[in-house]
Structure 1
Amino acid sequence: MRKEEKWGKHLVAYALGLPRALADYPFDEETLTVKVMGRIFLLTSPGYPVEISLKCDPFRSQELREMFPFIKPGYHLNKKHWITVTITDKMPLPFYEELISHSYTLVVKKLKKTEREALELEKERPVP
């Protein structure tokens, strides 16, 4: 297994470790989505190269695409609000984790107030 494939698996696990994140296959049997409270914040499919699609602030998205050739407008997604990132070992793993956290945060900000409050209560609960 290539390093990028291992990183891809790690990044999906990282996304699923965020509060209330769940995996789903709403489109087909290959396209994995990771959702929070029913809203997608990460998409990926098996294969090489390993790619993840993430929600991204439009200004940040533009900056990232200008700086990194492995970051493109979201594939089959709204090009203004989504990016598709090809995983490469040219960047450290925390770089990709931060992009996932950013996507998650953007989606959480758009949740209903009651959903955001429930999510905050869950984060504050001590782990048994």
Structure 2
Amino acid sequence: MTAAEIEAACLALPGAGKEFPFGEGTAVFKVGGKIFAIGRLDGEPPPSISLRCEPDLAVQLRAQHAAIKPGWHLNKRHWNTVTVDGSLSPRTIRDMIEDSYDLVVESLPRRQRTALRWLEG
């Protein structure tokens, strides 16, 4: 999966936007004003992206995949950093992006969830 494909997967989600609050090298993807992904998508390959994750699943994924580590400079209980080195399928990465997005959206007020046409679980 390329950096452009990762960016496209994040921005394809309803209401998602991209900002650069930490400088041009780090893209921050938000929905409803809350971060669901932080990516180092340009520069030296391979790209990496940090994603929210349910704590128990985060530990499981780290044990199963060398490319998934505790979130770099983030709450390691709730964030994983994924190195996109080809060892994970594009579908797995897209699923992780969607799960991260869902975790953020489910914490938004009902009015915002309704505006996004988000369906729970």
Task: Give the TM-score, by structure 1 length.
Answer: 0.85
Residue 61 (1) aligns with residue 58 (2)? yes
Distance in 2, matches of 1:20 and 1:30, equals 22
Alignment deviations for residues 31-51 of structure 1 (CA, whole Å, 9 cap, x no partner): 101111111111112232211
The offset of 1:30, in angstroms, is 1.7
Residue 88 (1) aligns with residue 85 (2)? yes
Q: Which residue of the partner structure matches residue 35 of structure 1?
A: 30
Percent identity reads: 38
Q: Aligned-pair RMSD on alpha carbons?
A: 1.5
Corresponding pairs, count:
117
SS, match of residue 73 in structure 2:
coil
Q: Which residue of the partner structure matches residue 126 of structure 1?
A: none
Unaligned runs of 5+ in 2: none
Residue 24 (1) aligns with residue 19 (2)? yes
Task: Give the TM-score, by structure 2 length.
Answer: 0.90
Q: Which residue of the partner structure matches residue 68 of structure 2?
A: 71
SS, match of residue 111 in structure 2:
helix
Structure having the higher Rg = 1
Q: Which residue of the partner structure matches residue 98 of structure 2?
A: 101
